[in-house]
Amino acid sequence: MTKTLFLFITGIVIGGNLPAQENLFDLHETPYSCRGSWMALSAYREEGREKLYLRDVCGRRLWQNNRVFLLEPLLSDHVVSGMVFYTEAARIVEENSSGRMEFTFESPDVLRIRGKNNGMRLTLTAPYDASSLVIPVARGQWRLQMGGFPHFVFTALRGESQLVKGSRLTVNMVNEKYQRKEIEMVIEIFPDSTGLFEAAIENYYAGWAPQPARYHLPFDDCVKKLSDDFETWCRHTPAPLKGYEKTWRLANYINWSCIVNPRGLIDRPMMLSSKNNMHALWTWDTWFFCIATSYSMPEYAWNACLFHARHQDPVTGLIPNLVTDVNYMWGFAYPCIWGWAIRKMIEHHPPIGTPENLKKIYDPLCKATDFWFLFQDDDGDGLPQYNHTNDSGMDNSTAGDVGMSIEAPDLAAYLVVQMDVLSEIALRLKRTKEAKVWKQRADTLLNKMIRELWTGTQFVARRTDDNQYNGQSRSVLLYMPLILGKRLPEEIRNTMINDLKHNGMFTQVGICSEHPESPLYAEDSYWRGPVWSPPTYLIASGIRECGDTAFAREIARRYCDNCVKNGFGENFDPFTGKSLKDRSLPWTAAIFIILMEDFLKH
């Protein structure tokens, strides 16, 4: 195949951006990975040229530089310029001025590489510890021992390879000083007489042994196998509406590719919050993954639901707000929407709500609910508190500018819903007395929330010690009680809905996290302006339950239409719709699937 014909087929334009319709995703925004893998490939524009990195999304590299290896095309011993990328779910292609490289996965732990008319240089770039070293295994094969991080094996399958740099020495201490040791790792591989090379890079957590014909599948068969896996995932996702097909496919790719296999503390397949920089399990992200997979993949949904029950603190009932393969974060509590999510899952797939399943989740959900009343209510007034705005999931919400701790209306609303769900579960389990108690507790909290936090025109989040609140705050957090639907008195819910419709907080992109006319508004400021997916879904769901289906549908339509134009960012500019911060988040993609299916099809 000539280079011109190859470029025509793939839609690659040398020196320019890739046409969106020709590529599934932009490799600069969305990593290339696959279901189950702890590896990802990403492109970056650095030093005036394109660079391609192999990244390790393990928990030990969270918030560090997770770009482990730089992968560069070589012609002789010179790095080739002019890299551009073509992307699909099962393969990416790097095209340059002399040839190309292709990447796919033979398995979640094995990245396969094939090159034509150029070689490749692999250079260690990530933080490493002093225990890193290179161990020769066989001709063309090296174990890349990464010290305290997960390790790699590089294997040349075709072509000639060489270790350019890499110490085989461990660190030695002499007279209480470390001997100097080079930790650089550089491997090069060059094509054979036919102009081709092939290689495999394997990622392993603990324990690896050489095996004959370890990487046995032909490259094209790897592509076919991976493509089949992705297409199977797509078939088990609600079908797209007309006009949303390409965005639907991208949403599926992001969700599918962000799943990792069990490793360490992650004891079942789970979807990371991102395979960019936020490669961990944030609790409330997980609930949207559960809901999005509950339509036709209930095993994923229920497994993810049980994951947090498995890792719940047995003494307090607290759910860790973050889990990686190596550690927990307990510092924040995060939104208690577990009960609400279980209700949605059962609505989508009633068999999830079998007595057998509900028995497994009932006690953990009870403990998670009681946590707030036992450990987050210092003044004992029955209104649980946030000790940090991170607890709300809206990390820097203006509602918290009054100072901690605060009794917030969103928290009370979530707990009312959760206790209602506990009452429903108790009835299904024939625990009628417990069902009655949970219903009474929900009613008591609802009445207290309205009496203490409703001013007559709006909800407020007040400081626990003196009841002061930030009068300048116009945060979306204050509208979250709409999740209660018709549990809210009619006058209150109508006031809140009409306010959202007409006060300018609902833009063509969606509901702002802070009102644009607020003196505290900032357009790219996390929760002080941008549009986010979780409140979009939670509020739209509540508004629909209030009976205003047209407004709920319009919220969903604007959100989904913006995803078509601007992808699946962590959040969005309220007026341009541009993706902000991490520009490829599964919860944004999951909520696109949910809103399309639940709000726009019916």
Pairing of strands 39-46, 49-56: antiparallel
The whole-number average pLDDT for the span 476-481 is 98
The whole-number average pLDDT for the span 419-436 is 98
Query: Could you read off the pLDDT of 534-578 as tens digits, one per residue?
Result: 999 999 999 999 999 999 999 999 999 999 999 999 999 999 999
Burial class for 226, CB neighbours closer than 10 Å (0-12, 13-18, 19+)? buried
Band of the pLDDT at 171, cuts 50, 70, 90? Answer: confident
pLDDT at residue 54, rounded to an integer: 98
In Å, how far from its chain's centre is CA 275?
7
Percent of the chain with pLDDT over 70: 95
Residue 348 pLDDT > 80? yes
Band of the pLDDT at 81, cuts 50, 70, 90? Answer: confident
Query: Could you read off the pLDDT of 449-458 as tens digits, one per residue?
Result: 999 999 999 9
pLDDT at residue 14, rounded to an integer: 31
pLDDT at residue 137, rounded to an integer: 96
Task: Supply the pTM of this predicted model.
Answer: 0.94
Query: Could you read off the pLDDT of 115-157 as tens digits, one per residue?
Result: 999 999 999 998 777 788 999 999 999 999 998 899 999 999 9
What's the mean per-residue pLDDT of the chain? Answer: 93
Percent of the chain with pLDDT over 90: 88
CA angle, 47 then 50 then 53, to 5°:
105
Query: CB under 8 Å, gap of 24 or more: what pairs does 356-362 form?
Result: 357/302, 358/425, 358/428, 358/429, 359/429, 360/306, 360/309, 361/305, 361/306, 361/309, 361/425, 362/422, 362/425, 362/426, 362/429
Band of the pLDDT at 180, cuts 50, 70, 90? Answer: low
Domains and CATH numbers, the chain: 3-208+215-228 (2.70.98), 236-600 (1.50.10.10)
Query: Could you read off the pLDDT of 485-522 as tens digits, one per residue?
Result: 999 999 999 999 999 999 999 999 999 999 999 999 99
Residue 587 pLDDT > 50? yes
Q: Using the CB atoms, write b or e for 123-160: b if 16+ within 10 Å.
A: bbbbbbeeebbbeeeeebbbbbbbeebbbbbbbbbbbe
Residue 461 pLDDT > 50? yes
* DSSP symbols for 314-377: TTT-PPPSEE-SS-EE-S------HHHHHHHHHHH-GGGG-HHHHHHHHHHHHHHHHHHHHHS-
How far apart are alpha carbons 103 and 361 in whole angstroms? 41
Which strand (E) or helix (H) includes residue 74? strand 67-75
pLDDT at residue 300, rounded to an integer: 92
Band of the pLDDT at 2, cuts 50, 70, 90? Answer: very low
The whole-number average pLDDT for the span 468-492 is 98
pLDDT at residue 219, rounded to an integer: 98
The whole-number average pLDDT for the span 212-234 is 95
Which amino acid does the sequence have at 316? T
Query: Could you read off the pLDDT of 145-155 as tens digits, one per residue?
Result: 998 899 999 99
Band of the pLDDT at 64, cuts 50, 70, 90? Answer: confident
The residue ranges of DSSP E strands in 427-470, in sequence order, are 462-463
pLDDT at residue 16, rounded to an integer: 35
Tokens (6 digits) for 186: 């550089």
